[in-house]
């Protein structure tokens, strides 16, 4: 059980459950800081906004670029490393390397092995104005902590159209790898919105299931890296729809999404595309709303690292790691690296304070 308001404050609370959070927990647990991790709550709201526990990697399939996990049959290793109640993950994967959910469960398990305590709950408010800090969870529990590591990551952006909201989970999605294989999209046309690496990656993935993938981009040139852009543009199933934005998602109560209305960005013209779904891939927003007014952020609401090459924030004793403070690299391995840094920074700060 975590400490209540009248109990001894936690030495270190870690908020988040992606690679940054679990790496911080592994290091902190091994340093005998007895960390408490708030991994997030399993709620419908978190599912819809893409903020369920285990973060964005849990929404992907194969992870080919995390060092130490080359392609190959890892199933024997995975079964031996994961608790029995997670062996289903291994059984459902095609055994050519590690999947995102497997990688996250491995990290979580590794943190547990060293004694990390985990609360499956969201931190919804913090008070960093005095030490020990106060954290309030969604279930109402109040925890005090001498040091905090924020590793809450980022989530996918949507266009913000009322029609998009209306059809979320009925054809509108921000995660092709989560939803693309659903029967409703098989051999049907779909739309992907965006021009970055995420958009072309999603379009490529969806081309395995859909009849045509319309890649709707507001300019006439992709932002994606050349190799990924070329792959998408040479894919016969992917049709770029240049200089266009989605003005409205079309559909009805029975079928969900049936198409989109496109508006040109270069003239006044509009047209419709038939589509069974729309996948939005237009960037991310950091999960920092619960920190408003408590810690310095950038204009895009990412937490500011205030000391070069350190994970310190504007609040002494509060550290940040991973995508919540990094809109540039945004990789599992860089998030894990900064999680390690944050744990070491917190450990040294606590030691210097004699806590
Ligand atoms: P991104 O690079 O920021 O691209 C976002 C795209 O969405 C841009 O093309 C942008 O158009 C468009 N966009 C933004 N807001 C829009 C709006 N309201 N309406 C219509 N279009 C809108 O984001 P990302 O693709 O998620 O990639 C983020 C980072 O992750 C990048 O550094 C990327 O390289 C990396 N990444 C790498 C991989 C990989 O290597 N496998 C995969 C995914 C992501 P404009 O171009 O006109 O601004």
Catalytic annotation, pick one of 85, 91, 122, 175: 175
Q: How confident is the model at residue 133 (pLDDT cuts 50, 70, 90)?
A: very high
Domain with CATH 3.50.50.60 in the chain: 10-156+284-353, 162-280
Find where tokens 């959910």 sit: 101
The mean pLDDT of 3-8, rounded to a whole number, is 63
Work out the mean pLDDT of the chain and round it to a whole number.
94
pLDDT at 135: 98
pLDDT at position 260 over 60: yes
pLDDT of residue 6: 55
Contact 31, 347 (CB under 8 A): yes
The percent of residues in the chain predicted with pLDDT above 90, rounded, is: 82
CA 141 – ligand 1 centroid, Å: 37
pLDDT band at 229 (very low <50, low <70, confident <90, very high): very high
Is residue 340 among the annotated active site residues? no
Tell the residue nearest (CA) to atom 2 of ligand 1.
196
pLDDT average, residue stretch 211-233: 96
pLDDT higher than 60, residue 4:
no
Within 10 angstroms of residue 158's Cβ, the number of other Cβ atoms is 20
Q: What is the DSSP string of 72-84?
A: S--HHHHHHHS-G
pLDDT value for 179: 80
Residue 1 has pLDDT above 70, yes or no: no
C-alpha span between 287 and 7 (Å, rounded): 29
DSSP state of 169: T
Pocket test for ligand 1, best of 158, 248, 265, 282 (most atoms within 8 A of CB): 282
The catalytic position among 73, 91, 121, 178 is: 178
Q: What is the pLDDT of residue 206?
A: 95
Average pLDDT over residues 218-222: 97
Are 213 and 238 contacting, i.e. CB atoms less than 8 angstroms apart?
yes
Catalytic residue among 121, 122, 179, 326: 179
* Mean pLDDT (whole number) for 120-131: 97
pLDDT at 5 over 60: no
Point out the least confidently predicted range of 64-68, 221-225, 236-240, 337-341.
64-68
- Ligand 1 pocket residue status of 219, Cβ below 6 Å: yes
Under the banding of pLDDT at 50, 70 and 90, the label for residue 281 is: very high
pLDDT, residue 44, reads: 87
Average pLDDT over residues 248-275: 97
How far apart are the CA of 283 and the centre of ligand 1, in A?
5
Count other Cβ atoms within 10 Å, centred on residue 97.
19
Q: Which of 13, 27, 59 is nearest to 281 (CA)?
A: 59
Does 187 have pLDDT greater than 90?
yes
- φ, ψ for residue 59, nearest 5 deg: -100, 10
Q: Is the pLDDT of residue 48 over 70?
A: yes
Annotated active-site residue 327? The verdict is no
pLDDT single digits (tens) 284-342? 999 999 999 999 999 999 999 999 999 999 999 999 999 999 988 888 999 999 999 99
Residue 148's alpha-carbon distances to 37, 56, 152, 211, 218, in angstroms, are: 10, 21, 12, 48, 40
Q: Calculate how far, in angstroms, residue 327's C-alpha sits from the geometric centre of ligand 1.
A: 11
Preceding amide of 341 cis, omega within 30:
no
Cα(193) to ligand 1 centroid in Å equals 10
CA 223–ligand 1 middle distance (angstroms)? 7
CA 208, distance to chain mean position in Å, is 23
To the nearest whole percent, how much of the chain has pLDDT over 70?
Answer: 98
Q: Whose CA is nearest to atom 15 of ligand 1?
A: 282
According to CATH, the superfamily of the domain at 162-280 is: FAD/NAD(P)-binding domain (3.50.50.60)
Specify the CATH architecture of the domain 10-156+284-353: 3-Layer(bba) Sandwich (3.50)
């Amino acid at each position: 059980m975590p400490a209540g308001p009248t109990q001894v404050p936690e030495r270190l609370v870690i908020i988040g459950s992606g690679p940054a959070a679990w790496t911080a927990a592994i290091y902190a647990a091994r340093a005998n800081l007895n960390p408490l991790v708030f991994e997030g709550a399993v709620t419908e709201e978190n599912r819809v906004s893409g903020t369920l526990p285990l973060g964005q990697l849990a929404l992907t399939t194969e992870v080919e670029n995390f060092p130490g996990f080359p392609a190959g049959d890892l199933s024997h290793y995975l079964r031996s490393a994961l608790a029995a109640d997670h062996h289903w993950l291994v059984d459902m994967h095609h055994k050519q390397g590690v999947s995102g959910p497997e990688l996250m469960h491995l990290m979580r398990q590794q943190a547990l092995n060293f004694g990390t305590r985990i609360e499956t709950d969201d931190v919804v408010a913090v008070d960093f104005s005095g030490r020990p800090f106060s954290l309030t969870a969604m279930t109402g529990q109040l925890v005090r902590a001498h040091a905090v590591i924020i590793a809450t990551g980022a989530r996918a952006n949507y266009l913000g159209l009322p029609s998009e909201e209306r059809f979320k989970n009925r054809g509108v999605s921000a995660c092709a790898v989560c939803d693309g294989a659903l029967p409703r999209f098989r051999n049907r046309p779909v739309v992907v919105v965006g021009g970055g690496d995420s958009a072309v990656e999603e379009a490529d993935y969806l081309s395995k299931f859909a009849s045509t993938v319309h890649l709707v981009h507001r300019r006439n040139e992709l932002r994606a890296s050349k190799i990924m852009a070329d792959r998408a543009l040479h894919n016969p199933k992917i049709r770029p729809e240049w200089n266009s934005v989605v003005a409205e998602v079309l559909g009805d109560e029975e079928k969900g999404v049936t198409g989109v209305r496109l508006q040109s960005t270069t003239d006044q013209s509009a047209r419709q595309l038939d589509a069974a779904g729309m996948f939005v891939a237009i960037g991310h927003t950091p999960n920092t709303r619960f920190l408003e007014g408590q810690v310095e952020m950038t204009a895009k609401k990412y937490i500011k690292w205030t000391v070069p090459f350190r994970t310190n924030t504007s609040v002494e004793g509060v550290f940040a790691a991973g995508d919540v403070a990094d809109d540039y690299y945004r990789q599992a391995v860089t998030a894990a690296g900064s999680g390690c840094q944050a744990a070491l920074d917190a450990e040294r700060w606590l030691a210097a304070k004699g806590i």
